[in-house]
Amino acid sequence: MFRSLHMKLTMILLLLITSLMVVIAAFLTTSVSSFYIDTFYQQINAVFSEENEDFYSSLCREAAQADGAERVQAMLEANAGLLGIDYRTRNYYVLDSSGNYLNGSATLENGLLPHGTTANLLIAQNGSVGDESSITDDYMDVAIPIVSESGSLLSIIYILDNRTTVSALNDQLFLIIMQALLVGLLISLLLSFLLSKAMVGPIEKLTAGAERVAAGDFDSELPVESTDEIGILTGTFNEMAEVLQQTLAAVESERNKLDTLFLHMTDGVVAFDHDGQLIHANPAAKEMLGQTLDEDCCYNDLFAHLFPFEQMLALHRSNHTEAEMRAGDRILELYLAPFADLESGGVLTVIHDATEQHRNEERRKEFVANVSHELRTPLTNVRSYAETLRDAEGDLPPDMSNSFLDIIINETDRMTHIVQDLLTLSRLDTGNTEILLTRFPFRDAIESVFRANAMAAQRHNQELTCHIEDELPLIAGDRSRLEQVMTNIIGNAIKYTPNGGHIAIRAGTTEDRVWMEVSDDGIGIPEKDRSRIFDRFYRVDKARSRESGGTGLGLSIAKEIVDRHHGTIGLAPHEGPGTTVRLELPIAQVVM
């Protein structure tokens, strides 16, 4: 409360009035005392002055008589009015040369003077006039020596004033000053109230406005009511609030942009303060590191094994360091960089999930190795049979030469087959394969593939059946590509089912999809290989596949085609020996 401007103003005014009054009181009382002392000595001097020498000479002569004391008293009585003797506050005493009381205007108790032997009295005893008084004393006196013609001290006239008058006057003055002080205090209270209304009011409004701005309310502009300093301050405050609002809006928008960026970016971002404590982690970082990353988490828990935190902070701001780490199944690439200075900065970590990149790299290497291997085997065969034919120089029996030539032609066909499949895959990969969209009955496509494979199944003495639900809808897609997929699935079933086996084709619809399943009771696919049979060149039994003319690319091509149609192809759960492959395609086909 005492800190408010209003209170301070009141206190200042009160102090001002009080100190003014104290000064006046001190000045007045001192002046009154001095005046009284001066008047006292002027009165005495007027009687005993050199101009009035006759009076003093007469006193000396009278004092020399036998009844000198009475004579002196009579002369003093005659001049009592001039000396201001009032017999109450001021009296005279006639003393002998030793200072003993002879007579006077007042009697003495026990023959002692009220203030004893004063300094002035001592001076008079030494033959000089004692007329010194201080305003701090509670009396004033004068002692005049009366000397004979021979110069010996006859008696002393001692005039003593007890200053009751001046004390009463001072008391009166003090009372007046106290009353004036009271009135002054009341006036200062009133003035401080009015002043605070005039001065503190606008400041209070400004304070309230500043509090609203501090609370985030920038809408209410403060009215500028005067042109004085407060008015200028209010105007400046309004401008400041506007600039602050614009700056905050810009900062907010930047922050929103950054927040959205951090939220949706696929790379992880983790920031630590200069103590290594986590300050920010986006959802991608949490997912990649597989941790909740709460506030208690720190740099050392996560990345200390890659690069010590202190060394990170010591790095120059333009530098960064890279590292790679594993988190579960993921391979993560990390870019670590310090930000700002040592006191207020920290370390920023950007995490990139390189798992897919690494996997692709692995696949690429594996693919190149597979292609090389797949082509090298038939090439070796072609070369060795061709060399044998050349070295024999026509010595081989014709049927053997013909069988060698058949092998060479078969191996060349096989290579052509592989190269064609690779080309198809490459075109599908690069998106260069044209998909010819038409609307056609799903049933017709299945029945056409069924008929085309019936002969092959018959050759292997296999029972090939086809059961299609009624009212299969039209689908939109590339019919010949989809028939290629179906042919591959049914062809595999024929290839990997022993003679005399059973192959069943079934088809139907679900809510928004058509499906086709091809089940056989053939050799089946072991559990460990089920997830990989759609990989390029992957074959469960390489020898068997090659024997039957397989390249290991059929199902990967099928998967690419089905993917382009936004469908799915996979192995369905299968009871007993054999395999079931399920193909699903959307009815309402989206543009590809």
Cα–Cα distances in angstroms (integers) from residue 123 to residues 111, 119, 129, 422, in the given order:
21, 6, 7, 143
Least distance (Å) between residue 255 CB and ligand ADP? 52
Dist. CA 239–CA 232, nearest whole Å: 11
Pick the closer one to ligand ADP by CB: 105 or 556. Answer: 556
Dist. CA 54–CA 52, nearest whole Å: 5
Q: How far apart are the first and last CA of the chain?
A: 78
Least distance (Å) between residue 528 CB and ligand ADP? 12
Which amino acid belongs to residue 215? A
Pick the closer one to ligand ADP by CB: 411 or 520. Answer: 520
Least distance (Å) between residue 463 CB and ligand ADP? 15
Pick the closer one to ligand ADP by CB: 464 or 555. Answer: 555
Binding residues for ligand ADP, rule: CB under 6 A, are 488, 492-493, 496, 520, 522-525, 533, 538-541, 545, 550-556, 579
Least distance (Å) between residue 457 CB and ligand ADP? 13
Pick the closer one to ligand ADP by CB: 94 or 490. Answer: 490
Least distance (Å) between residue 477 CB and ligand ADP? 20
Least distance (Å) between residue 326 CB and ligand ADP? 31
Least distance (Å) between residue 487 CB and ligand ADP? 11
Dist. CA 549–CA 374, nearest whole Å: 12
Give the full edge-to-edge strand order of the sheet including 321-327.
278-281, 268-273, 346-353, 330-339, 321-327
Pick the closer one to ligand ADP by CB: 131 or 520. Answer: 520
Least distance (Å) between residue 383 CB and ligand ADP? 24
Residue nearest to ligand ADP (CB): 550
Dist. CA 530–CA 553, nearest whole Å: 15
Pick the closer one to ligand ADP by CB: 33 or 556. Answer: 556
Q: Is 157 left (phi over 0), alpha (psi -120 to 50) or beta?
A: beta
Pick the closer one to ligand ADP by CB: 155 or 551. Answer: 551
Backbone dihedral angles phi then psi of residue 369, each to the nearest 5 degrees: -60, -40
Which amino acid belongs to residue 334? L
Pick the closer one to ligand ADP by CB: 170 or 556. Answer: 556
Q: Please, is 234 exposed, middle or buried when counting C-beta atoms within 10 Å of its C-beta (0-12, 13-18, 19+)? A: buried
Pick the closer one to ligand ADP by CB: 215 or 543. Answer: 543
Pick the closer one to ligand ADP by CB: 94 or 493. Answer: 493
Least distance (Å) between residue 482 CB and ligand ADP? 16
Dist. CA 515–CA 509, nearest whole Å: 6
- Per residue, the 3-state secondary structure of 19-84, as one string, reads HHHHHHHHHHHHHHHHHHHHHHHHHHHHHHCHHHHHHHHHHHHHHHCCCHHHHHHHHHHHCHHHHC
Cα–Cα distances in angstroms (integers) from residue 387 to residues 383, 384, 397, 411, in the given order:
6, 5, 16, 15
Backbone dihedral angles phi then psi of residue 463, each to the nearest 5 degrees: -95, 115
Per DSSP (E only), the strands in 340-414 are 346-353
Least distance (Å) between residue 554 CB and ligand ADP? 3
Dist. CA 521–CA 575, nearest whole Å: 10
